[in-house]
Amino acid sequence: MTELTELTAVQLLDGYRRGEFGPVEATRAALRRAEEIQPELNAFVRITAEEALEQARAAEERWRRGEPGGLLDGVPVTVKDILLLAGHPTLKGSLTVAPDGRWDEDAPSVARLREHGAVFLGKTTTPEFGWKGVTDSPLSGITRNPHDPARTPGGSSGGAAAAVVRGAGPLALGTDGGGSVRIPAAFCGIFALKPTYGRVPLYPASAFGTLAHVGPMTRDAADAALLMDVIARPDSRDWSALGPAPGSFAEQLAGGVRGLRVAYSPSLGGQVAVQPAVATAVRRAVERLAQLGAYVEETDPDLTEPVKAFHTLWFAGAARVVQHLTRYQRELLDPGLREICAEGARYSALDYLAAVDVRMDLGRRMGRFHDTYDLLVTPTLPITAFEAGVEAPKGSGHRRWTGWTPFTYPFNMTQQPAATVPVGTDADGLPIGLQLVAARHQDALVLRAAHTLYEAGVAAPVRPGGS
């Protein structure tokens, strides 16, 4: 029998429906796995076992009566420690956030999960204030990759990815300001979606502004679609949230890719040096898309690397996060964060608005690009996971995390939906991700294309040890 910790949310719900097992058994299994992996991987800030079991017992009683309380009743989930979870402090990886306080409010996505009966296993690790593409912080130390603990899981939702891979809940909520659900999902071998900006409400508003998205991290696209059906609902606390989604994401998974116009950009027109194993795995998956009926053309978007503008927006946002801190508190910050905050504080309003202009022009160009192409396919990352505890691979020549994430952060600037699917491993067994990008508001199309890759056997979760 397959272990409960290996089942997807869809499979768990099917088992509850059939009476084969219940939420309490599934939650106990997920909690055991969370406790087992914590010493090695450091995926959690805190594990809320007692509360989770109480929620699971209530869900089990509802299932016993044949009255499940929502789309995810009794399904174990984790929440990145950037998002509010009522009853628990949200410390955001920082020694500067005081744990005492009321902590009596859920973030919108968390509130929707609670309404649908989800079981909260705990809060997952993040770099300080989610500022970088790897996961280590002054508060909780280094989080490690489930395939090789000497390597990073990526970030900033690294704890969430590690938890999903190792069976500590099939569903995770992450945040993505420059790739922060896609980077760790690619490094760890799972699925993640950065939805269109505003599709999943966010409160409190991020200091990184409209770069920041909330998104699902799961084993496959079907689970992500189910999770989106729960969290992609308006919330009055987010003034920039979109209206109700047009239909169920789960119900729009079928249909395949036949007839879709797919642009395949292996290196953004030669701008990016991609590891051979990554390039080969992504190309093989793209060839399968063509076999499945998509019209594939190798071409590149007009995407002159906008890193300077992104840094202006990102560093200024970071400076705003710490603006209220005392000199003593600033000494407690991650040294890299302290550096970018100092740089961000030197920008003028005109510098910021110039970066906004670059962003708007990039969005216009990508909008025109998608007049011709339904989907853009790229590698999610040009590399596989590197040494844990550093911001950029040693010897790479990159100082900041944006140097090795050229495929992810531009689509935070344009607010487009973008997903990563696992399409193989390198010679060391480290996962490789393929990125699917569509025009704004075409989240269902991204999920459908990703689901097609899973159905065709091209995409699959990468299990530690290749098992």
* 261-264 and 295-298 strand pairing: parallel
List Cα–Cα distances, 343 to 32, 45, 311, 340, in angstroms.
Answer: 44, 29, 9, 5
CA dist., res. 278 & res. 379, Å (int): 7
CA 131/CA 180 separation, integer angstroms: 9
Neighbours of 70 (CB within 10 A): 17
Phi/psi for 176 (5° steps) reads -145, 110
Query: How many Cβ atoms sit within 10 Å of the Cβ of residue 99?
Result: 9
Q: Which residues pair with 418 in a beta bridge?
A: 194, 437
Q: Which residues form the catalytic set?
A: 80, 156, 180
CA geometry: angle 250, 106, 141, nearest 5 deg: 95
Burial 37-68 (b: 16+ CB within 10 A, else e): bbeebbbbbebbbebbbebbebbbebbeeeeb
